[in-house]
Structure 1
Amino acid sequence: MSFLNQALSVALDRRQALLAELHAQGTDCYRLFHGSQEGAAGLTIDRYGPQLLIQSFHESLASDVVPGLIDTVQRHLGLELLPVYNDRSGGNSRIDRQDSVFQASEAALQDGVGHEGGLKYRVRARHAGQDPLLFLDLRNARSWVRQHSAGKSVLNLFAYTCGVGLSAAAGGAREVCNLDFAEGNLAVGRENGTLNPQLPPMQFIQSDYFPAIRQLAGLPVTARRGQKLPAYPRLLPRQYDLVLLDPPAWAKSAFGTVDLWRDYQSLLKPALLATAEDGVLICCNNLAKVPIDEWQEQVLRCAEKAGRPVREWQVIRPADDFPSLDNQPPLKTLVLQF
């Protein structure tokens, strides 16, 4: 057995109890191998319902390696899955995913349905975007939202494909608003809503984060220096009972720059002001080089300066399919209660 297959076998053995628990909860989307912490940096293996997604980020896998990984996973799970290998080690990996190493079947590249906590999610092993349609390390946060959203108004910022919004709707939220700049992301969010017709309908707003959140917070909308102010949807000031802020590591538009390393405060302050006085703000930072203690101190200090001191706070850590040997997982999630 190769070193890589041996490391994968150990990882799968470690997950036996967790996978049994997840299956009992109606969940079939999870990480099977977290290479950076389990012996092969730059390699991830995930299950998304019927699909098995293998991705390499540092270097391509050899053509004789992928079938062995697939066989190891399927033997441990006792399932036949639809495997896809995405090599993301090249600079053009976002748009150029060729099957030069492993030929995915036509069925594997079709849209599928994955499940989390009994909810249905659209899964797609390869698409025009860069990342899978459901971020698996946010599962515990989605579960928290589902358990604490009954009767509340919920604002899902940087909503992506609206998994948090769907969880809030399933938890009995009286109103769910998903906000994202990309219409393609929101289109998948609408698909997710359609896949779960038992849930109340959600709202969707396509907008750059800065004009939307500043309007909700009652702040003026401004453009970056030297930029002309583009058109944007007009929103009235209001606050939500539960707000989730999960920005990307970096992005730039005419309205401002998302930069989790240098300027998290510009994202956080208006989100604080759009959260109800006795509400909850869940904020995330997925930048691996940011230590959780430093970021947590920064968040609490920003809340104090904004006139929204935090009454209670807690950390939500990713589940055990995302192990962290140094207890510093890349995804950091804080629940702030006011």
Structure 2
Amino acid sequence: MSSLNQALRVALDNRQSLLAELHAQGTDCYRLFHGSQEGASGLTIDRYGPQLLIQSFHNSLDRESLLALHAQVNKHLGLETLLVYNDRSQGNSRIDRSDAVYKADDAALEDMVGHEWGLNYRVRGRHAGQDPLLFLDLRNARGWVKDHSAGKSVLNLFAYTCGVGLSAAAGGASEVCNLDFAEGNLAVGRENGALNPQLPTMAFIQSDYFPAIRQLAGLPIAARRGHKLPSHVRLEQRQYDLVLLDPPAWAKSAFGTVDLLRDYQSLLKPAVLTTADDGVLICCNNLAKVSMEDWRDQVLRCAMKIGRPVRDCQVLTPGADFPSLDQQPPLKTLILQF
């Protein structure tokens, strides 16, 4: 057995009890191999319902290794999963190689349904974006929202494919609003809603983060220096009982720059102001180079500075399928009670 297959076997054995727990709660989307912490940096193996998504970020997998990993996972799960291999080591995950083994079967690339916390989610092995349609390390946050959203108004910022919004709707939220710049992301969010017809309808706002959140917070909108203020969605000032802030690491628009390393405060301040008194703000930072301790101090200072001191702050860690040897996982999540 190769060293890679040995590492995968250890990872699968370590997940035995977790997988049983996840299956019992209605979840079949999870990480089976977290290479950076389990012996193969740059390699991830994820299950999305009937699909097995293998991705390499540093070095391409050779034919034999890819087939061996797929067979090993199938044997362990007792399933015949549909394989999709995205080699992202060259910066492009959507070009297959000439060898037929690297070409995913047509069946593997069809629209499928995965499940988490008993909810249905659209999954695709390949789509217009680079990343999977459901970020698995945020599963615990979606579960927390599902358990704590009854009767609450919920605002899901940087909503991506609206998994947090769907969880809030399933938890009995009185109102759910998903906000994202990309219409393609919200379109998947609408698909997710349609896949769960028993849930109330969610609202969707396509907008750049800065003009939308600043209007909701009652703050003026400013364009980036040297740029004319573009047209934007008009929103009324208001607050929500539960707000989720999960921004990308970096992005730039005519309205401002998302920079989790140098300027988290510009994202956080209006989100705090949009959170109701006695409300909850869940904020995330996915930069590995930022320590939890430093970021948490920064978040608490920012809230205090704008007159909204945090009454309680909890740390929410990713699931056990995302192990962290130094207990500093890249995704950091804080639950702030005002």
Q: TM-score range by the shorter chain?
A: over 0.9
Aligned partner letter, 2:230: P
Q: 1:98 aligns with which of 89, 96, 115?
A: 96
Taking the aligned partners of 2:26 and 2:96, their CA distance within structure 1 comes to: 33
Is 1:154 the counterpart of 2:154 in the alignment? yes
Equivalents in 2 of 1:68, 1:142: separation in Å? 33
Please name the residue that 2:126 is paired with: 126
Amino acid at match of 2:34: H
- The aligned runs of 1:101-250 (5 Å cut-off) are 102-250=102-250
| Aligned mates of 1:241, 1:145 — CA distance in 2 | 12
Which position in structure 1 is the counterpart of 2:40?
Answer: 40
Aligned length: 336
**Counterpart AA for 1:138:** L
Give how far 1:103 is off: 2.0
Separation in 1 of the partners of 2:248 and 2:147? Answer: 25
Please give the root-mean-square deviation of Cα atoms over the aligned residues, in Å: 0.7
Q: CA shift at 1:97, angstroms?
A: 2.4
Question: Do residues 27 (structure 1) and 16 (structure 2) align?
Answer: no
SS in 2 for 1:86: strand
Q: What CA deviation, in whole Å up to 9, does each residue of 1:205-241 have, x standing for no partner? A: 0000000000000000110000111110000000000
Q: Which string of whole-angstrom CA distances, capped at 9 and with x for unpartnered residues, describes residues 12-71 of structure 1?
A: 000000000000001000000000000000000000001000000011111221000000
Aligned letter for 1:319?
G
Three-state SS of the structure 2 residue aligned to 1:65 is helix
For 1:279, give the aligned amino acid.
Answer: G
Q: Establish whether residue 15 from structure 1 lines up as the match of residue 15 from structure 2.
A: yes
Identity level (%): 79
- In structure 1, give the amino acid aligned to 2:120: K
C-alpha distance in 2 between matches for 1:293 and 1:100: 47
Q: CA deviation at 1:99?
A: 3.8
The answer for the alignment partner of 2:280 in structure 1 is 280
Change in Cα spacing, 1:123 to 1:99, as seen in structure 2 (3 Å) is: farther
Q: Which whole-Å CA distance do the structure 1 matches of 2:290 and 2:32 have between them?
A: 25
Q: What is the alpha-carbon distance in structure 2 between the residues aligned to residue 324 and residue 214 of structure 1?
A: 36
Partners of 1:203 and 1:138 in 2: CA distance: 21
Partner-residue secondary structure (3-state), 1:108: helix
**Matched ranges for 1:60-99 at <5 A:** 60-91=60-91, 93=92, 96-99=94-97
Task: Mark the runs of 5 or more structure 1 residues left unpaired by the alignment.
Answer: none
Structure 2 CA distance for aligned equivalents of residues 99 and 72 of structure 1: 23
In structure 2, runs of 5+ residues without a counterpart are none
What code does the residue aligned with 2:96 have? Answer: Q
Q: Give 1:100 shift.
A: 4.1
Separation (CA, whole Å) in 2 of partners of 1:100 and 1:159: 37
Question: Scaled by the length of structure 2, what TM-score is found?
Answer: 0.98
Q: Hey, what's the Cα distance between the residues in 1 that align with 2:148 and 2:103? A: 43
Q: Which runs of 4+ in 1 moved over 4 A?
A: none
The CA deviation string for residues 255-308 of structure 1, in whole angstroms up to 9 with x for no partner, is 000000000000000000000011000000001110000000000000000111
